[in-house]
Amino acid sequence: MGGCEVQAHQRDTKGVITLYYLASPNGRKISIALEEMGLSYELRPVNIFENETLRPEYLEICPNGRVPALVDALPSGEVVKIFESGAILQYLGRRTGLFYPTQSESARAWVDAWVIWQMAGLGPMAGQKTWFLRAADKPGRDPGETSLAIHRYNKEVTRLYGVLERQLAGRDFICDEYSIADMACWPWVEQYGSRDMADSDAFPLIRAWHARIAERPAVERAMQLGVDAIEVPQGFPGARA
């Protein structure tokens, strides 16, 4: 199922983690978390453009047939299989006790709320906007087929950016301390922010937050993972010019 790239870190030797991966916003949430947490893992690129996510062996790990997914073979012999990027982030936070509050239920619930906000709002709405914009670019497409959807999703993405902008007022990170909530949201702003924040005067706090996270060494490493493993067809984000 694609190639694999092994990343070894000395801070953790517990178990064997395999990340089934595409260099997409959802995949990068997990590679950022793994790099930030110093976990050893094996990266297995999954080619969605050749329907590798629909193979029976992959569906055993991720019944939803999407990326990312993660398998963690623990020293006890237990094997954890988990899909959905938000659930993976929460699992890794529990596993390591890093970037996920462990002492305060209220703090943990607040981080969870922002992770789910991204999963239910920022990601899907930005993704739908991208899909309809790409569809509208197809030669011969009747603008009437896509214009209402583009208007709807553009309005909602702008609203969601406003929510994030307000939350960042007076703080460096979404939940005060850097957490899996930032890891969930940042890759979506990284990939689509230049489009969704086209007004250079809009969302200054998001811009500063984005730049702050982009400078983290673990994020820099994560952003390089898997970029050449799969050829992305033209018209899709990440395609080579």
Lowest-confidence pick of 76-80, 85-89, 94-98, 198-202: 198-202
13 plus 87 within the same structural domain: yes
110 plus 201 within the same structural domain: yes
145 plus 193 within the same structural domain: yes
Scan for tokens 């893992």, then name that residue.
41
Instruction: Look at residue 234 in the predicted model and tell me its pLDDT.
Output: 58
Domain around 84: 5-100
Lowest-confidence pick of 10-19, 21-30, 90-99: 10-19
> Cα torsion at 13, 14, 16, 21 (round to 10°)?
-80
Residue 183: closest CA among 74, 79, 42, 86:
86
111 plus 202 within the same structural domain: yes
Q: Is the predicted pLDDT of residue 7 greater than 70, yes or no?
A: no
Q: What is the pTM of this model?
A: 0.89
Tell me the C-alpha distance between 97 and 89, whole Å.
11
Tell me the C-alpha distance between 130 and 4, whole Å.
29
pLDDT one-digit tens code per residue, 16-69:
899 999 999 999 999 999 999 999 999 999 998 899 999 999 999 999 999 999
Q: Is the predicted pLDDT of residue 5 greater than 50, yes or no?
A: no
